[in-house]
Amino acid sequence: MVQIFGGGATGGGDPAKKVQLAPFGSRTVSRDSPNHSVFFWCRFLAAERPAPALERASTLSARSGGNHRRRERYDGSNHTPPTARTEASVPVPSMMRPRTTPEWNAFGAATRYAQTHDLSEPAEAAYLEALDEARRDILRRLVRGVIRGDPTGLPSPELVPPVRARIADAIPDVDDVEIPWEVTRAETYGSVAVLPLPPTNKTLLGPIKTTHGFDRHRIGDDSWLVGHTRVDRIDHPVSLLDLLDRAGAFVDDGQAARFRVEVAESVANLALARLADAVLGERLDPSSPVLRRVANGNAAADRPAALERIVTDGHPFHPAGKIRKGMSAADGLAYAPEFTDRIDLRFVAIDSTVARETRSRGRKRLTDRLFETFGGLEEAASDELPPDRPIDRFAVVPVHPWQFHHTILDRYEADRRTGRVVPLSYTHPATPLLNLRTVVPHDTDRLSDDPPHIKLAIDVQTTNVVRTLSPNAVTNGPQVTDALEAIASRESFDHLGFLPETAATCYYQPGGPHTEGHHFDDARHLSGMVRMNPAHHPFVGTDAVAVPAASLIASVPGTDRPLVCDLVSEYTATDGDGPDPRSFFEAYVDVVVPEQLLLLSKYGIALESHLQNAVVVFDEARPVAALIRDFGGVRVLDDRLAPHGLDVSVDPYPNSDIDADGEKDLYGKLYYALFQNHLAELLATLAHECDMDEAAGWDAVAHTARGTFDAIRAAHDVPADRVNRDEAALFEPSMQHKALTAMRLRGKRHEYVTSRVSNPLAREDR
């Protein structure tokens, strides 16, 4: 620790009036110090300027004697993490070495990946540098979630101007404290969130650069903890979780421990993913239009899959958005889309006596669809099935290779011995997509002309949920497909398309329905589904490109520029005046909003059209259609659907969430997914990165939504009072928000925890 006595750094002066530079990430300031500016200047010189990656890594190597796997580790169980220091006790940036067990666990895999792709010298330097920004990024998500989500057990935060006196007034029980100068920069921050954590005698300061629609705060690079005698910069998100635990924010100690691990794993995985971004960027031709550049430059089974591979940062809101609980870092390199375009898709045959098979109208069963898609699969199955049982007595299920080796062989061992479950030797290369469990088969001489997307079960947790495939999804998906296709046939949508889930199968013991327990778990771990590949949808054709909406806010590999900003640059407005983000966004809204509102108001179906589930079709840089995938989160209000006499019905599997409890359930699904998640995040990106007027963007959304409701009323197909209620709910002053951070603090997975956020569509002057 560097100590400055009086006015110099070499000693002397009054020891009672000393200013100490605490290790990087914290500071201790005497209230009696006569010259705080000396402290800040010396802190800047000693700690704020990170050395180049090579110098940092060399310093680490020299300090640790070449042994980077040091014994000091922070696994989230202690309230005070260890701090790295040089031999001369000069503060060292925390990114100099891993600090949590997950960061250490990823160290070897990251080093090998960097070495293979020649990212840095020494090889580990690239990962160590990425760790610092990953910690900051996950911390920003955590602070935003705590401020925005109003978690149970914590007081509500107060947002104050970035003025020293105003911040100090909002901090309880502290009369004289040094407010960090960083949070008082009015040219950088619009406000500061002040959140007391009473039992800890600490107060969280979260500087806010700007606030986007639905109270989506853009948090500053650093957040701070203010105590009675010291101010600490939070240098790891797990450190904040320790304080939240002591403040009573968690439902119990077990959930506190789980969330610490989830956040720590997200930091490590995000840092590792940032290395992949550099590798993907090396393959792109900068002279090509951006969609062609990314689609042709990234190896993948098809163009939409290539575009999906650039989403490396995980869920944009969730502090555990990069968790892959159950997978090691090496598993991530083998199976995650940012690292590989090929995994070996496996197959398992299930005796029909323990299989549940579903399909939509007029479609083939899953087994037949697989035999049709993969040349040689049927012959391989015939050769490997028990000789006393014909092949038509079996159903075949596609299986993720991780699941095949980690779960199937052990969990179904008894069934394997009796020949009721038969793992097959046949494999086929496939590209994994963003959600890890959906894959796209590679084109080989064995593949049919229209291969589907294949959704698999994998016993790995991402965000809040383990990504197996339940009998609920197997049962409901084809039924929702029938309903949506019947509606689409009647309405002839111009811009809204669906990616039908045509067939599914799961292991299923007789005597169901199984809604919990061992039989339910057996069903969800060995299951699979096929749905239409967006590249084959009629809206796409031969010239257009289907782009996962999540890719729009992801950076083009090798740059810091979001994909959507390059699209805006290439987009030419109707009047021919050149790039115009507002005109681009208006065209986008016209494609994704009107027909989804019609589907809700007229038919009582709310799609879960958030960024990951929406695929937007572009003709050059112009949005022309929206395709919605993944029907597991759809809500259906039968009181609205049944009167249309569509000759289809949705009879969901017991304990499914698909049946809407009422109109509010519809609003909570569509209005959150489409407006709060999809459009709000896209518009925030356009405003922050592409200089778009965000208020003008919300004006465009409001104008399109109002016009849609007017058109529905004018058609006289829907009771006017119902349309009025749907419209009023969308334009309420505040809207229900799905508080993901609060959900994890309370240990919730499927049950929502909500808060209220201000609604940018509700401006009185509209």
Domain definitions of the chain by residue range: 99-282+734-766, 329-536, 545-629+661-730
SS3 89: coil
Q: Which of 683, 699, 436 is nearest to 549 (CA)?
A: 683
User: CB of 619 within 8 A of CB of 544?
Assistant: yes
The phi, psi pair for 99, rounded to 5°, reads -125, -20
d(CA 436, CA 265): 16
DSSP H helical segments within 298-337, as ranges?
A: 303-308, 329-335
Q: How far apart are CA 501 and CA 482, in angstroms?
A: 9
Strands (E), 674-749: 734-738
What local confidence, expressed as pLDDT, does residue 751 receive? 74
Which three-class secondary structure string do you get for 400-457?
CHHHHHHHHHHHCHHHHHHCCEEECCCCEEEEECCCCCEEEECCCCCECCCCCEEEEC
CB 57 within 8 A of CB 124: yes
pTM of the predicted model as reported, rounded to 2 decimal places: 0.87
- CATH classification number, 99-282+734-766, choose in 3.40.50.150, 3.30.70.2190, 3.40.50.970, 3.30.310.280: 3.30.310.280
Q: How far is CA 385 from CA 97, 399, 404, 508, in A?
A: 52, 17, 17, 19
Burial of 162 (0-12, 13-18, 19+ CB in 10 A): buried
pLDDT at site 24: 33
pLDDT at 267: 97
Asked whether the bond before 534 is cis by omega within 30 degrees of 0, the reply is: no
Q: Which residues contact 165 (CB under 8 A, 6 or more apart)?
A: none
Output the pLDDT for position 178.
Answer: 81
- In angstroms, the Cα distances linking 543 to 307, 506, 531, 536, 547 are 16, 37, 22, 12, 13
The architecture that CATH gives domain 545-629+661-730 is: Orthogonal Bundle (1.10)
- Which amino acid type is present at position 559? T
What does the pLDDT read at residue 6? 28
Question: Which residues of the chain, if any, have pLDDT below 70?
Answer: 1-95, 175, 573-578, 749-750, 764-766
Q: For residue 226, what pLDDT is reported?
A: 93
Contacts of residue 206, defined as CB under 8 A and 6 or more positions apart, other chains included, come to 143, 144, 146, 147, 157, 192, 193, 195, 217, 219, 220, 223
pLDDT at residue 573, rounded to an integer: 61
In angstroms, the CA 613 to CA 592 distance is 12
Position of tokens 């690292």?
A: 339
Both tokens of 471, joined, read: 């009998």
Contact at 8 Å (CB) between 183 and 207?
Answer: yes
- Non-local (6+) Cβ contacts of 407 within 8 A are 459, 525
| d(C-alpha 710, C-alpha 100), whole Å | 55
Q: So what's the pLDDT on residue 576?
A: 65
Question: Residue 557 and residue 539: Cα distance in Å, rounded?
Answer: 27
